[in-house]
Amino acid sequence: MNVGKTAFAQLMEFLPQYEFQKCVERYQGSYKIKSFSCWDQFLCMGFAQLTYRESLRDIQACLRGNQQKLYHMGFRGNVSRNTLAHANQVRDWRIYADFAHVLIGQARILYANEDLGVELKQTAYAFDATTIDLCLSLFPWAQFRQRKGAIKLHTLMDLRGSIPTLIFVTHGKVHEVNLLDELIIEPGAIYIFDRGYLDFARLYKIHRAGAFFIIRAKSNFRFRRLYSQKADKAKGVQADQIIELHGFYARKDYPDRLRRIRYYDAEKKKRLIFLTNHFTLPAFTIAELFRCRWKIELFFKWVKQHLRIKAFYGTSENAVKTQIWIAISVYVLVAIVKKELKVKVSLYTMLQILSVSLFEKTPILQLLSQIQPDEKETDSFNQLKLL
């Protein structure tokens, strides 16, 4: 007798299918589709992410081995390796990109009150990119070096809850700083960058939009000091200066004053120099906000290790982007479930439990609560606060 829902079906119930259908209709994803719908494709690819499947044949074998359970898991079409490969090849990847951003919007609301670790009322974002290497002969569209292919994930992350707010997927030749032009600047927010994004013309656009930035200065940075402010040297702040840029083109790109903070990180024994257009925050808070930028580095490390975004099921640009966006959707979905069910275990542990329990008909909260709080969760690296 079929009693209860599988863990996979329970997990998928947290997805807003109405919003998914709107994304499908936006890009005519159902055009001439008779049996294997976009939703079936999403379920197959989501299943592959949750269970760490290695290939399309692996996905087909796993699902067909549980054929009698597929209908109750939400599948309506026949699962076939060729059908899934064709769907990944031809169905617009923007369907899944838009749906991922719908889930991101839900997650940001749930994590809006998370502790940032710094006393700050404003929203703080970190913007950075990571590179995923590809074989140029298999992925000729992913140009990077002369004999090397790659894609880049450019990510804007809300540091409260470590939720990616925007993600842009480009081929490897696109320089990170160009993606600053794609950002919709939120007035009053703080944007944190590493020194690779030091472009004074683009930073001035952020300044004129009413937002703030914090960025590391380059070693050859030229400036003229106007005056110095009192520095809290007990906390590592060595200098707090109001400056203007030196040089014709630099002054033309950024004609206003800037704040230069020199900070010594005693833990790493390293001196850091920050530039910002925020003149009221304490200098130590500026340094602490930049320290929070490590969350985006951990996010990149985490998704590369625990989601299927380094080995791909297809070689076309559409197939690669489809897989990446569905992987991001799975990450955000599990983060939503963690918050909605008030699960105490880490996201890493949740994924490990789900990977071996998707066909079980145990209530999902019971599955995720089996590890007692006093049991130590082992992981190979530091976890994000969200996780």
State both tokens at 303. 């998704």
Residue 41 host element (H or E): helix 38-51
Nearest to 289 by CA among 114, 112, 120: 120
Residue with tokens 């599948």: 75
Model pLDDT, residue 3: 59
Q: Which amino acid is at 338?
A: K
CA distance 135 to 91: 23
Model pLDDT, residue 372: 58
Neighbour tally for 4: CB within 10 Å: 12
Query: Do the beta carbons of residue 373 and residue 51 sit within 8 Å?
Result: no
Query: Do the beta carbons of residue 224 and residue 158 sit within 8 Å?
Result: no
CA distance 118 to 235: 15
Model pLDDT, residue 117: 74
Helices 17-26 + 94-110 axis angle, to 10: 150
- pLDDT tens for the chain, residues 1 to 387: 345 788 898 999 999 999 999 999 999 888 878 788 899 999 999 999 998 888 899 988 988 888 888 888 888 878 888 999 999 999 999 999 999 999 999 998 888 888 777 778 888 999 999 999 988 888 999 888 888 899 999 999 988 877 888 999 998 899 999 999 999 999 999 999 999 999 999 999 999 999 999 999 988 888 999 999 988 888 889 999 999 998 888 899 999 999 999 998 888 888 999 999 999 999 999 999 999 888 899 889 888 888 888 789 999 999 999 999 999 999 999 999 999 998 888 888 888 888 888 888 888 888 888 765 544 444 433 444 444
CA distance 250 to 75: 58
The phi, psi pair for 132, rounded to 5°, reads -115, 115
CA distance 386 to 144: 33
